[in-house]
A and B are shown apart, each in its own frame.
Chain A
């Protein structure tokens, strides 16, 4: 469905996407994880054929992105990071007119628009203006709009960022249904639970490059240990414990407020800690998550 080789995007002398390779087969749900500014949206826009790559090869649905943009876009559904809904039209008109951009006949457009409003549970709002919608409703409308041409590939850039939990779960549930129908999904997110639930395969992007790739399980196995033990001590300064805990687990990471032990066997690590005569105020043993991978690969410093 998508194949990119050495894909590069530069803005002036700033490199937003720095030579990435990706392959997405049909029917897969493929995710981009990464901190802000990693180049996820830029990559999505290049795949969506609205941003010409500076260099590299990009083929989508068997066509060349550089020369066959309109034909590719005809079979793509796009949910951009910022909603680009038509604020001068009501919900139904938004979908119908969008269908017309694809050259879909008016009668078919109206039928599909009604069905899709139903699909995202906005039928009772068909005649409202977009301005009157909450963030979650807008997102759902954008998702409905992206499906108006019955696309083979749907691109979703942060589909649930800023939504309340109810709205997120509704969106996830709708995306699951699409996946079941065999629609190929490509999404970006910085919610780990979203990535874990929806994506068959992930890449972690950082600084325009791909830092890691695999299934959620593979990523955890390759980049962190199976379990993590979180220790808190009664102290202002946890850095003193770095030395004392050295060797108690595969890897020890000291944070300002706690110490993380990466280990394949949490229990024996905990007894090792007690064996060294240390008594933490709290001990939490848990399975390693995608979040641990993410933080390991992209660092803990805040990027904005």
Chain B
């Protein structure tokens, strides 16, 4: 009876931990993969930020302040890395487990529910993304690409970006049928990356494009991280953070529902 009561009580809340533990058990032997992911995003930082920065020396912010181009681009790279980590984990990896390994069919024969699976996979994506982001921030500081303590807030900021894109990724995965769908997704993400104010303030865009950019969660993520790493705080940051949180929460809710539909046949 005691066991049943504990289970009944526990079943009210989410149980992401077992899924995280499972993923940890898989990757315990495969840290190379995680390190390679980290190197990839640092490589981006060097080639785009530092490389292009050598050509475009300085850039003027909308407020009139001049900053080094690498300083301007680095937080966008961080936001992009946080997004990519979340998307890779919740699309490629989750799709593989869902459709090919049929992993969740086994998991759902236990007290675990689809929303526990979704929460677990998202938590895992966040943990992985957080490791990248922390390392990325340290490298940014070491290269002198940020010189304010506000930049520490870019860490929770990038976790928030991870949360948003994990939700989006999970939801997208429940609609994917096969691998070609992933090519479309990658193309979409790349376009979003180019047009989310990564390389220039969006004030330079034509106004119709600006409105499209406001819908992009990545844009809000970049604005958030850039403000922190430049130490340029304003009340607008609350809007950016709220947008990310709402998009993430809504997608997660729908993703859990869709997952139930797919798995409870």
Partners in one complex: yes
Q: Within 8 Å CB of A88, what residues of B?
A: 26, 101
Residues A84 and B103 in contact in the complex (CB < 8 Å), given A50-B263, A73-B111, A103-B111: yes
Q: Within 8 Å CB of B264, what residues of A?
A: 50-52
Chain A residue at minimum C-beta to C-beta distance from B263: A50
Answer whether residue A245 sits at the interface, using C-beta atoms and an 8 A cutoff: no
Chain B residue at minimum C-beta to C-beta distance from A50: B108
Chain B interface size, as a band, is 20 to 34
B121 CB to closest chain A CB (Å) equals: 14
Answer whether residue A167 sits at the interface, using C-beta atoms and an 8 A cutoff: no
Complex CA distance for A263 and B265, rounded to whole angstroms:
45
Are B103 and A74 within 8 A (Cβ)? no
Residues of B within 8 A of A (CB): 3-4, 6-8, 10-11, 15, 17-18, 21-22, 25-26, 101-103, 105-113, 263-265
Beyond A84-B103, A88-B26, A103-B111, 16 additional pairs, beta carbon < 8 A: A45-B265, A50-B108, A50-B109, A71-B7, A71-B111, A74-B4, A74-B111, A80-B105, A84-B105, A84-B109, A87-B101, A89-B26, A96-B25, A97-B21, A101-B110, A103-B10
Answer whether residue A285 sits at the interface, using C-beta atoms and an 8 A cutoff: no
Please indicate which of the listed interface residues B18, B21, B103, B109 has the most CB atoms of chain A within 10 Å of its own CB.
B109
Specify the main secondary structure of chain B where it touches its partner.
Answer: helix
Q: Within 8 Å CB of A97, what residues of B?
A: 18, 21-22, 25
Total count of chain A residues near the partner, CB < 8 A: 29
Specify the main secondary structure of chain A where it touches its partner.
Answer: loop
Answer whether residue A85 sits at the interface, using C-beta atoms and an 8 A cutoff: yes
Answer whether residue A48 sits at the interface, using C-beta atoms and an 8 A cutoff: yes
Complex CA distance for A52 and B260, rounded to whole angstroms:
11
Chain A residue at minimum C-beta to C-beta distance from B21: A100
B211 CB to closest chain A CB (Å) equals: 42
Are B111 and A70 within 8 A (Cβ)? yes
Are A102 and B21 within 8 A (Cβ)? no
Answer whether residue A76 sits at the interface, using C-beta atoms and an 8 A cutoff: yes
- Contact with B22, one of A71, A74, A76, A86 (Cβ below 8 angstroms): A86
Answer whether residue A292 sits at the interface, using C-beta atoms and an 8 A cutoff: no
Complex CA distance for A144 and B7, rounded to whole angstroms:
22
Q: Within 8 Å CB of A219, what residues of B?
A: none
Are A86 and B106 within 8 A (Cβ)? yes
Q: Within 8 Å CB of B111, what residues of A?
A: 70-71, 73-74, 101-103
- Contact with B102, one of A70, A76, A84, A98 (Cβ below 8 angstroms): A84
Tell me the A29-87 residues at the B interface (CB within 8 Å): 45, 48, 50-52, 69-71, 73-74, 76, 78, 80, 82, 84-87
Residues of A within 8 A of B (CB): 45, 48, 50-52, 69-71, 73-74, 76, 78, 80, 82, 84-89, 93, 96-98, 100-103, 149
Complex CA distance for A184 and B106, rounded to whole angstroms:
21
Please indicate which of the listed interface residues A45, A50, A85, A100 has the most CB atoms of chain B within 10 Å of its own CB.
A100
A23 CB to closest chain B CB (Å) equals: 23
Q: Within 8 Å CB of B109, what residues of A?
A: 48, 50, 73, 76, 78, 80, 84
Q: Within 8 Å CB of B103, what residues of A?
A: 84, 86
- Contact with A74, one of B7, B17, B107 (Cβ below 8 angstroms): B7
Complex CA distance for A88 and B103, rounded to whole angstroms:
10
B116 CB to closest chain A CB (Å) equals: 9
Chain B residue at minimum C-beta to C-beta distance from A155: B109
Are A71 and B110 within 8 A (Cβ)? no
Q: Within 8 Å CB of B8, what residues of A?
A: 71
Complex CA distance for A74 and B265, rounded to whole angstroms:
20
Q: Within 8 Å CB of B101, what residues of A?
A: 86-88
Q: Can you report 11 A-B residue pairs in the complex whose CB atoms are below 8 A from each other?
A: A69-B113, A74-B7, A78-B109, A80-B109, A84-B106, A86-B101, A86-B106, A88-B101, A89-B22, A100-B18, A103-B15
Complex CA distance for A268 and B48, rounded to whole angstroms:
96
Are B18 and A70 within 8 A (Cβ)? no
Are B102 and A71 within 8 A (Cβ)? no
Chain B residue at minimum C-beta to C-beta distance from A72: B111
Complex CA distance for A149 and B7, rounded to whole angstroms:
13
